[in-house]
Structure 1
């Protein structure tokens, strides 16, 4: 599993309140992606469970050691001999819960972990209110993982609005950036694609982001539109809002080409921010 080209796939889900059903759905669609040639497969944020009820979420949540969905997906990566990025699962972590992504290698080993740094605490115009920080603990470290093709940068959903995270990963050597998500329909319709394309263009990197789509059992509605974008900002594949699989070829030469044409990573400069105040006109001395 080497070379300068490979097939990446996004698995778009509509996760329910039943973790084992969600696991089985993910395993089935991963198999569909592999059957079409995928060597790298990514599932969306909250692959294991969409649950807005905090009490039910806590009751369902498992530690990493006992996590049935994580164990099942690790076995799938091993059986299929693929690199599998689990967009995120809920993991019991002390008093709160970690929204944690995993990169699984073709032997089923955990190659990297990433806890979502930026938590979605917002009040939307349609009355939707989200307070992830009431339930989840935020991460404090970015994550790059070494694959046979190069370094892949990890992130989750709301992180995509914070471009400095992706610039740091690209400057550290990432050729591909990822933001698996469960975007709301309202914010997704307004910003999802443009944010994905912007992160790709800014960094001359591929952007691969699997998503949740449709109306879930817990009542939320997610936008879907899993997407793969090339380093020049071209959309190579995009889903609608139904569960399914999208695929695209990742050609590492495109990263070098984009970064040669617009070498912004080499042009980064440090700077200070100074606040200026308008000068007040001097009064006539006679006054």
Structure 2
């Protein structure tokens, strides 16, 4: 990488709901907007495709080859941008993880990071137990995007 090499990143945020199709529509629209603004990497938020109760999220856990992720892979390929699908409940043969999927500009899956430190806390008497829904990852992941 040269000193003058730059990577333009589109950061997105929205209030996700349990309506996966509506959340996907927002993800696609914001990815399109970021790409039209010159982003070569678009970061989508944690739980952006589905946010609900622990039971709802575990039940609706996505798979890397399922329709929601496939739709975002197709969007990335159509726009020629890399996408970080940041933090979704990802069902694998080893269990459910909170994974960030990295989609390359050609729509292939470039990598996956499984969250190492799960949010288990008791705040003002309210208990949050991510470990009741997902299991921790084991490895850090480094991915190159557009030479960076």
TM-score, normalising length: structure 2: 0.90
Q: Determine the C-alpha separation between the residues in 2 that align with 1:39 and 1:95.
A: 32
* Secondary structure, counterpart of 1:136 in structure 2: coil
Instruction: Give the CA deviation at 1:113.
Output: 0.4
Q: Is the 8 A contact 1:96 1:135 kept in 2?
A: no
Give the Cα–Cα distance (whole angstroms) in 1 for the partners of residues 120 and 82 of structure 2. Answer: 32
Query: 1: distance between equivalents of 2:143 and 2:128?
Result: 30
Deviation at 1:38, TM superposition (A): 1.1
In the TM superposition, 1:196-235 aligns within 5 A as none
**Rounded Cα–Cα distance in structure 1 between residues aligned with 2:128 and 2:122:** 7
Q: Which aligned runs of 4 or more in structure 1 are off by greater than 6 angstroms? A: none
List per-residue Cα deviations over 1:36-84 (Å, max 9, x = no partner). 1111110011121111241x2233223323x222111111110000111
Partner residue in 2 for 1:29: 30
1:130 equivalent in structure 2:
128
Partner of 2:10: 9
Aligned length: 146
Q: Could you tell me how far apart the structure 2 residues matched to 1:51 and 1:95 are?
A: 23
Quote the RMSD (CA, aligned, Å). 1.8
Q: Which residue does 1:106 correspond to in 2?
A: 105
Structure showing greater Rg? 1
Counterpart position of 2:139 = 141
In the other structure, the counterpart of 1:80 is 79
